[in-house]
Amino acid sequence: MPEFILSLHQVHTFIGQHHILQGVSLQVPEGQALVLLGRNGAGKSTTLRTVMGMTPARSGHIVLGERDISRARPFEIARAGIGFVPEDQAVLYTLTVEENFRLAMLHEDEGSYARQERVFALFPDLKKFWKSKAGVLSGGQKQMLAIGRTMVNDHRLLLIDEPSKGLAPILVDQLAEALNQIKSHTTIVLVEQNFHMASKVGGDYYILDDGVVAHQGRMEELAQDHQLKQKYLGIA
């Protein structure tokens, strides 16, 4: 059993001519929520998209458990056990909530339906709008759908990109509560600009700056380090 569920070794990623990730190395311990922090453009979202194979790495290695997934295609990575919630939620607006769940459900078996019930307990609104088109949901409900549908599979790891973006403070607190429940059974890598939410959910953190890892440590230590927060995150 590896100590780390996901490891990135010297990962370089380009978008067009732009060298976005310039040798990112990080390790995600199993059973906790690891937070990726950094200013806009630091490479946080690109790191998640690179892990998912949606913006493939040009060099370096990405290892899930003991399997090298650096060259795997997104659907193979999803089937290997990684769920992805992108920054823009990417719920399928023309499909109903039910259809979004069916689309995400890789195996329509008892286990998946049991996990679906667990999602309903966590996000009751999804059951209420089960037959509605996802396009009519509010921003918060769309976020719940985007997270909830990935939970119907027995994923080992969830990559969640800025779930609090555009949500009211009360919804952010509810979401943080939900993520804390999820991390009790699934490892999470969370990209988050909202430091309040990140510190409520996160265990370890990595700070990215200009496509490299600038700092790493425990969230509770970062919360006390005002100089570091000011330098890399622009907050006091």
Residues near other proteins (CB under 8 A): 52, 54, 73-75, 78-79, 84, 86, 90, 92-95, 99, 102-104, 106, 108, 149-150, 153
Nearest distance in Å: CB 159, other proteins: 9
- Nearest approach, Cβ of 192 to other proteins (angstroms)? 20
- CB closer to other proteins out of 28 and 78: 78
Closer to other proteins at the Cβ: 11 or 152?
152
Which residue intervals of 65-182 are DSSP H helices?
Answer: 74-80, 97-104, 110-122, 124-128, 139-150, 169-182
Shortest spacing between CB 52 and other proteins, in angstroms? 6
3-state secondary structure of 97: helix
Q: How far apart are CA 236 and CA 228, in angstroms?
A: 9
- Give me 6's structure tokens: 């996901």
CB of 99 or CB of 173, closer to other proteins: 99
The DSSP letter of residue 72 is -
The CA distance from 205 to 190, in Å, is 9
Q: Are 186 and 156 in contact (CB under 8 A)?
A: yes
Closest CA to 154 of 83, 96, 89: 83
Closer to other proteins at the Cβ: 2 or 135? 135
* 37 vs 55 by CB, closer to other proteins: 55
Alpha carbons 33 and 88: distance in angstroms, whole number: 20
Cβ neighbourhood burial of 226 (10 Å; 0-12, 13-18, 19+): exposed
Shortest Cβ 111–other proteins spacing (Å): 15
Q: Which residues contact 177 (CB under 8 A, 6 or more apart)?
A: none
Residue 218 CB, nearest approach to other proteins (Å): 30
Nearer to other proteins, 158 or 172 (CB): 158
Q: Give least dist CB 232 to other proteins, A.
A: 29
